A and B are shown apart, each in its own frame.
Chain A
Amino acid sequence: MKEIKYIVDTTLRDGEQSPGLAFCVEQKVRIALLLEELGVHQIEAGIPALGVSEKEAIIEIMHTKKHVMVSAWNRLSIEDITQSIECRPDIIHISMPVSYVQIYTKLRKNKKWLLKMAAECVDFARSSGCRVTAGFEDASRADIGFLLTLSEQLVRLGVEYVRYADTVGVLYPSRAQENIRTIISSTGMPVEFHAHNDLGMAAANSVMALRGGAKYVDCTLLGIGERAGNCGLSRFLTAAEGLYDTGVSKKQAIAVEEQLRSVLTGSIY
Chain B
Amino acid sequence: MPSATGFDRSKIICFCRLLHLVGVDYIEMPFAMYAGIQDACRNQDADRMQDDTGSLVLHIELDGQMQSFPEISRFVCRSCDDVTDARLIHERQINDIREINRLRGTNCLSRVRVTGLDDVLMKDYIQVFSQIQSYLGKEYEFCPQDSFGTATAVAVEWANNGGTRLVTSFGGIGNCAPTEEVLMALRINNRHHPNHDMTVMPQLAALFEEMSGVRFSPQKPILGSQIFHVEAGIHADGIEKNPYTYEPYEPESVGTTRALVVGKHSGTKAIEIKLSQLQIPYLHEEILTILRSVQIESIRIGRSLTDEEFISIVGKMQ
* Residues of chain A having any CB pair with chain B under 8 Å: 16-24, 27, 50-51, 53, 75, 101-102, 105-106, 108, 138, 167-170, 172-174, 197-201, 203-205, 207-208, 223-224, 226-229, 235, 238-240, 242-243, 266-269
Q: Which residue from A24, A75, A170, A204 sits with its C-beta under 8 Å from B153?
A: A204
Q: What residues on B are CB-neighbors of A228 within 8 Å?
A: 219-222, 224, 227
> Does A201 contact B153, Cβ atoms closer than 8 Å?
yes
- Some 9 contacts from A to B, beta carbons below 8 A apart, are A19-B231, A20-B261, A51-B292, A101-B245, A200-B152, A200-B221, A238-B148, A239-B148, A268-B219
A contacts with B: majority SS: loop
Contacts of B302 in A (CB 8 A): 22-24, 27, 266-267
Question: Which B residue's beta carbon lies closest to that of A167?
Answer: B246
Contact of A173 among B121, B228, B238, B298 (CB under 8 A): B121
Among the stretches B3-11, B25-33, B178-186, B196-204, the one at the interface with A is: B178-186
Most A CB contacts (10 A, CB to CB) among B149, B227, B242 go to B149
Contacts of A266 in B (CB 8 A): 302-303
A19 pairs with B261, CB closer than 8 A: yes
Check if A19 sits within 8 Å of B221, measured CB to CB: no
The digit string for B214-258, where 1 denotes a CB below 8 A from any CB of A, is 000111111010111111101101100110111110000000000
Q: Given contacts A102-B238, A102-B245, is CB(A199)–CB(B221) below 8 Å? A: yes
From the candidates A16, A50, A201, name the one contacting B156 in the complex (CB within 8 A). A201
Interface residue B116 (Cβ < 8 Å from any Cβ of A): no
Scoring B227, B264, B300 by chain A CB atoms within 10 A of each residue's CB, the highest score goes to B264
Q: Which residues of A contact B261 (CB under 8 A)?
A: 19-20
Contact-size category for B: 35 or more
Evaluate whether A235 and B149 lie within 8 angstroms (CB atoms) in the complex, with A173-B156, A198-B248, A200-B221 already known. Answer: yes
* B63 close to chain A: CB less than 8 A: no
In the bound complex, CA of A172 to CA of B229 (Å): 24
Q: Which chain B residue lies CB-closest to A16?
A: B265
Question: A22-B298, A227-B219 are contacts. A75–B234 as well, Cβ < 8 Å?
Answer: yes
Chain A residue contacts of B40, Cβ below 8 A: none
How many whole Å from B271's CB to the nearest CB in chain A?
14
Closest A-B pairs by Cβ, 8 of them: A204-B153, A200-B181, A22-B264, A19-B231, A204-B150, A19-B229, A168-B248, A200-B152
Residues of B within 8 A of A229 (CB): 219
Asked whether, in the complex, the Cβ of B304 is within 8 Å of the Cβ of A197, the reply is no
User: A198 contacts which of B150, B221, B230, B301 (Cβ < 8 Å)?
Assistant: B221
- Nearest residue (CB) in A for B239 is A106
Interface centre among A19, A27, A227 (most CB of B within 10 A): A19
B150 and A207 contact, CB distance less than 8 A: yes
